[in-house]
Amino acid sequence: MSTPLDADPILVDVQRGELIETVHRGRLVITAPDGSTLVALGAVDEPMYPRSSVKPLQAIAMLESGLDTADSELALAAASHRGEDFHLDGVRSILAGAGLGPGDLQNTPDLPLADDARAAWLRAGHGAESLTQNCSGKHASMLRTCVRAGWPINTYLDPDHPLQRHIRATIAEWCGSATHGTIDGCGAPLFAVPLTGLARAFGAIAAAPDGPARRIADAYRAHPAYPSGTGTAEEALHRAVPGLICKGGAEGCLAIGLADGTGIAIKSDDGSHRGQFAVAVEVLIRLGAATREVLASVPEDQVLGHGLPVGEVRADPATLDRVLASLTSAR
């Protein structure tokens, strides 16, 4: 029985030596500032789970419901942080500002994602905790929002909680729909959206002139290590391209918004993130958003043999030709 994924193109080639060893198929969509579709490769209008890529929209809903934090903490509200000290201090601050502490968090306990942070945490005698799980900034912000709005905090993850109902409505408003409700890895409600809707949302957030969306975009731009971590590809993109915002999500999702309102969204079929930023870099170059020299700071995935480079992870050339052809036709 066929599925929409059967038509998805190869986005990424993994070359080792002289051979293509692996390919990753997926979907790619680029939307114009007016929301129209410039490039659509694969099943971009089918529902898919954006996972953590949807965090800026969750944060918009929190701001609309009374969240009151500094901009660095707002970036943490929409972060998949790596558990570095400044991340954990920020989460503690968000909670303390609402008279709460890490014990009030209900997200799934985990260790820090960053290697150095995880090693230091374990050396200090700690184990997996909700504080160090990468979504703790979002959960701390949900709790603070509930305190400000006068809503219950013990049930803040219930899909019928007032905050979660508003988050779902916000996602539907910005992405066009929010369906197939389930639970994300951190314990928060999760909804499916079309990849096209996610791209449009990120373009609109990046170009927002004011309001909660502008606050989220400015927080990302002013504090690029907060949404992900130090040395990540997301941080590098934020620093390299003025006005850009981006957010990755589990199972191979990546969304990007440009200051002019252009949106880009990528979803791999096999859930791999390998090569996604190589694709993003090539797309940004073809859009004229940045030069290859400027984007050279974005970390690349490596293909190693005995510790040395023996190949490359690259955007599939045929797919890039299709992107360029669609962009040329649209113009």
Give residue 1's pLDDT. Answer: 38
Distance CA 331, CA 329 (A): 5
pLDDT tens-digit map of 96-144: 999 999 999 999 999 999 999 999 999 999 999 999 999 999 999 999 9
The answer to whether the beta carbons of residues 147 and 98 sit under 8 Å apart is: yes
Beta 47-48 vs 189-194: how paired, if at all?
Answer: antiparallel
* Number of other residues whose CB lies within 10 A of the CB of residue 36: 9
Q: Summarize pLDDT for 48-85 with one digit per residue, the tens.
A: 999 999 999 999 999 999 999 999 999 999 999 999 99
Domain range 8-330, CATH architecture: 3-Layer(aba) Sandwich (3.40)
Question: Can you read off the two tokens belonging to residue 100?
Answer: 């709460």
Q: Is the pTM of this model over 0.95?
A: yes
48, 253 Cβ separation under 8 angstroms:
yes
Each domain of the chain, given as residue ranges in start order, spans: 8-330
> What phi and psi values does residue 180 have, to the nearest 5 degrees?
55, 50
Segment 288-307 shows an average pLDDT of 97
